[in-house]
Amino acid sequence: MTVHLFGIRHHGPGSARAVAAALAELEPDIVLIEGPPEADKIVELAASEEMEPPVALLAYAVDDSTRAAFWPFAVFSPEWQAIRYGLAAGVPVRFCDLPAAQQFASSGGGGRRSLSIDPLATLAAAGGYDDPERWWDDVIESRRGGAEPFTVIADAMRELRHGEEATGREAQREAYMRTVLRKAQREGFERIAVICGAWHVPALELPLPPATHDQRILKGLPKRKIACTWVPWTHGRLAAASGYGAGITSPGWYHHLFTAPDQITARWLSKVAHVLRAEDLPVSSAHVIEAVRLADTLAALRERPLAGLSEVTEATRAVLCGGNDVLLDLVTREAVVGELLGSVPGETPQAPVAADLAAHARRLRLRRDAAERVIELDLRKPNDLEKSRLLHRLRILGVHWGVPAVDERRAQGTFREMWRLAWDPGLEVELVAAGAHGTTVLGAATTVMLKAADSSTLADVTAALERSLLADLADALPPLLRGIDTRAAADADVGHLMAALPALARASRYGDVRGTDTAGLAAVAGRMVSRVCAGLARTVHGLDPEAASAVQELIDGVQDATVLLAEGVRAEWLNTLQGLSDRSSVPPLIRGRLTRLMLDTSRLPDHEVELRLGRSLSPGTPTADAAGYVEGFLAGGGLLLVHDERLLALVDTWLGGIPDDAFVEVLPLLRRTFGTFAAPERRSIGARARVLADPGSLVVADDNDLDAELAATALPVVARLLGVS
Say if residue 199's pLDDT is above 80. Answer: yes
Q: What is the pLDDT of residue 351?
A: 85
Strands (E), 470-596: none
Nearest to 684 by CA among 647, 642, 634, 630: 642
Nearest to 426 by CA among 39, 65, 70, 6: 70
Query: Cα–Cα distance between 311 and 232 in angstroms, integer?
Result: 32
Express each pLDDT in 288-310 by its tens digit: 999 999 999 999 998 887 888 88
- Distance between the two ends of the chain, CA-based, in angstroms? 99
Q: Please give the share of the chain, as a percent, with pLDDT higher than 70.
A: 91
Helix (H) or strand (E) holding 556: helix 545-562
| Residues 496, 531 contacting (CB under 8 angstroms) | no
- Spatial strand order of the sheet with 226-232 comes to 64-73, 55-61, 226-232
For residues 651 and 449, which has the higher predicted lDDT (pLDDT)?
Answer: 449
Query: Cα–Cα distances in Å, from 5 out to 149, 194, 291, 391?
Result: 12, 5, 41, 48
| Residues 427, 401 contacting (CB under 8 angstroms) | yes
| Residues 78, 12 contacting (CB under 8 angstroms) | yes
Helix (H) or strand (E) holding 58: strand 55-61
Confidence band, pLDDT 50/70/90 cuts, at residue 110: very low
Say if residue 602's pLDDT is above 70. Answer: yes
427 Cβ contact list (under 8 Å, min separation 6): 399, 400, 401
Q: Average pLDDT of 275-287?
A: 92
Q: What is the pLDDT of residue 50?
A: 92
Q: What is the pLDDT of residue 701?
A: 47
| Residues 218, 321 contacting (CB under 8 angstroms) | no
Q: What is the pLDDT of residue 113?
A: 47
Express each pLDDT in 471-526 by its tens digit: 989 888 888 888 887 887 777 788 888 888 888 887 776 665 566 666 677 788 88
Strand partners, 418: 376, 405
For residues 109 and 310, which has the higher predicted lDDT (pLDDT)?
Answer: 310
Q: What is the pLDDT of residue 371?
A: 83
Q: What is the pLDDT of residue 649?
A: 79
Confidence band, pLDDT 50/70/90 cuts, at residue 697: low
| pLDDT, mean over the chain | 85
| Residues 349, 42 contacting (CB under 8 angstroms) | yes
Find the range with the poorest average confidence among 28-32, 113-117, 194-198, 712-716.
113-117
Q: Please give the share of the chain, as a percent, with pLDDT higher than 90.
A: 40
For residues 634 and 353, which has the higher predicted lDDT (pLDDT)?
Answer: 353
Question: 389: exposed, middle or buried (C-beta count within 10 Å: 0-12, 13-18, 19+)?
Answer: buried
Say if residue 703's pLDDT is above 70. Answer: no
Say if residue 91's pLDDT is above 60. Answer: yes
Q: What is the pLDDT of residue 459?
A: 80
